[in-house]
């Protein structure tokens, strides 16, 4: 809102009489304020006070040139001005005109990440950005028909909300961390563990909540796999039910590939390729003028690492009978 207030102050400076601005030594004081009037309304205002002095004349102070307040709300903006009568007070249109050939209409994220175009019920083209109050426009002129802005529906909102969700799979961890040992259990887990994520957006009276639930598939690189959770770090004692463990039957060390005939063909250059694939099931719930629920396309994220596996061998050696 401070940026809006500064713009208002600049508007007032442009309206100040030239004699006041160029009258020799003096001082021009510009003050502004901004405040949030509610969840969807905000206001910003500015005022100019001119002090001037000229050689041979007493110092004088003008009346405040103007006090202007701009009120902004979702889909509309209004402006009222007060002060001296020589300052005009134009009324801002409810839906400002936007030329059809404006380059901003071709941007899918017109004001930065998470922003998008949508249409309200009256056919106006509107802007949305997280944590912002932005207007709707009336498209004017010919040429470009405007952005590919779908009508505002719960599934439209939910789709944009889902695109904003990071849905990180976490980093793959193992114990033993350096290399596993064939015949002994290795533990695997994701850190931080992917968990159910929720994000809610309120737009044009609709409150839409999107929920993403993760499911993890583990591939251990030796043709073995298991569906499970994110796993838990190694701990002594009984193995927890949500632990992800695996026992390798064949070694796979750097240099084994192409040299040791006993290793598996899936043995990589630096060990087994360990992959955790996180599949996110995404759904939405809408409350407002239109109550709706449904599912969105699933998303997949992965975390992988090379995991060498050594082995312990027993050898018969010649000894001395006793």
Sheet holding 97-99, edge to edge: 97-99, 136-140, 125-128, 116-119
Domain match, 138 and 185 both: no
Q: Are strands 309-310 and 180-181 parallel, antiparallel or unpaired?
A: parallel
244 domain residue, yes or no: yes
CB contact set of 261 (below 8 Å; sequence gap of 6+): none
Domain match, 192 and 274 both: yes
Q: What is the pLDDT along the chain (322 residues), one digit of tens a residue?
A: 444 343 333 333 433 443 333 444 556 555 544 444 444 555 455 555 555 555 555 555 444 443 344 444 444 444 444 444 344 444 556 778 888 888 888 887 888 887 777 776 667 777 777 766 677 788 887 765 555 556 667 888 888 888 888 899 999 999 999 899 999 999 999 999 999 999 888 776 678 899 999 999 999 999 999 998 999 999 999 999 999 999 999 999 999 988 888 899 999 999 999 999 999 999 999 987 778 899 999 999 999 999 999 987 666 777 665 5
Identify the pLDDT of residue 6.
39
Q: Are 83 and 68 spatial neighbours (Cβ–Cβ below 8 Å)?
A: yes
Identify the pLDDT of residue 317.
72
Rounded to whole angstroms, the maximal C-alpha distance in the chain is 126
Domain match, 229 and 126 both: no
90 domain residue, yes or no: no
Chain center to CA of 140: 31
Q: Is 79 exposed, middle or buried, given 0-12, 13-18 or 19+ CB atoms closer than 10 A?
A: middle
| Owning domain of residue 186 | 171-310
Helices (H), 103-234: 154-164
Q: Is 300 exposed, middle or buried, given 0-12, 13-18 or 19+ CB atoms closer than 10 A?
A: exposed
Domain match, 226 and 142 both: no
Q: Which two tokens stand for residue 143?
A: 């040429």
Residue 69's Cβ-side half-sphere holds a number of Cα atoms within 13 Å equal to 12
Identify the pLDDT of residue 281.
97
Domain match, 68 and 136 both: no
Domain match, 27 and 61 both: yes
The one-character DSSP state at 106 is G
d(CA 56, CA 223): 97
36 domain residue, yes or no: yes
Identify the pLDDT of residue 74.
45
The one-character DSSP state at 179 is -
Q: Among 107, 123, 151, give the residue marking a domain's end.
A: 151
DSSP H or E run through 126:
strand 125-128
The one-character DSSP state at 109 is S
Q: Which two tokens stand for residue 34?
A: 């901004």
d(CA 233, CA 267): 25
Q: Are 206 and 154 spatial neighbours (Cβ–Cβ below 8 Å)?
A: yes
88 domain residue, yes or no: no
Chain center to CA of 54: 56
303 domain residue, yes or no: yes
d(CA 115, CA 125): 13
Task: Give me the long-range contacts of 258-263 (CB less than 8 A, separation at least 24).
Answer: none
- The total number of structural domains in the chain stands at 3
d(CA 274, CA 244): 13
């Amino acid at each position: 809102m401070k940026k809006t207030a500064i713009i208002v102050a600049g508007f007032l400076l442009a309206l100040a009489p030239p004699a006041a601005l160029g009258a020799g030594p003096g001082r021009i004081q510009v003050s502004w304020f901004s405040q949030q009037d509610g969840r969807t309304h905000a206001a910003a205002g500015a005022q100019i006070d001119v002090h001037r002095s000229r050689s041979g004349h007493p110092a004088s102070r003008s009346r405040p040139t103007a006090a202007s307040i701009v009120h902004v709300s979702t889909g509309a903006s209004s402006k009222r001005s007060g002060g001296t009568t020589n300052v005009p007070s134009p009324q801002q249109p409810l839906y400002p005109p936007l030329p059809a050939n404006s380059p901003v209409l071709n941007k899918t994220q017109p004001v930065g990440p998470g922003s998008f175009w949508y249409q309200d019920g009256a056919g106006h083209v509107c802007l949305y950005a997280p944590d912002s109050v932005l207007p709707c426009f009336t498209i004017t002129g010919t040429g470009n028909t405007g952005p590919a802005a779908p009508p505002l529906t719960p599934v439209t909102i939910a789709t944009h909300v889902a695109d904003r969700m990071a849905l990180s799979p976490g980093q793959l961890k193992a114990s033993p961390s350096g290399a596993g040992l064939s015949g002994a259990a290795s533990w695997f887990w994701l850190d931080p563990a992917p968990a159910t994520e929720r994000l809610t957006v309120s737009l044009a009276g609709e409150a839409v909540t999107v929920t993403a639930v993760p499911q993890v598939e583990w591939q251990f690189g030796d043709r073995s796999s298991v569906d499970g959770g994110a796993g838990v770090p190694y701990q002594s004692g009984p193995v927890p039910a949500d632990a992800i463990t695996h026992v390798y039957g064949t070694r796979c060390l750097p240099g084994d590939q192409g040299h040791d005939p006993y290793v598996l063909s899936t043995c990589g250059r630096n060990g087994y390729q360990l992959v955790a694939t996180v599949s996110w099931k995404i759904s939405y719930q809408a409350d407002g003028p239109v109550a709706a629920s449904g599912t969105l396309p699933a998303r997949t994220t992965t975390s992988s690492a090379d995991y060498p596996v050594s082995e312990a061998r027993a050898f018969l050696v010649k000894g001395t009978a006793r």
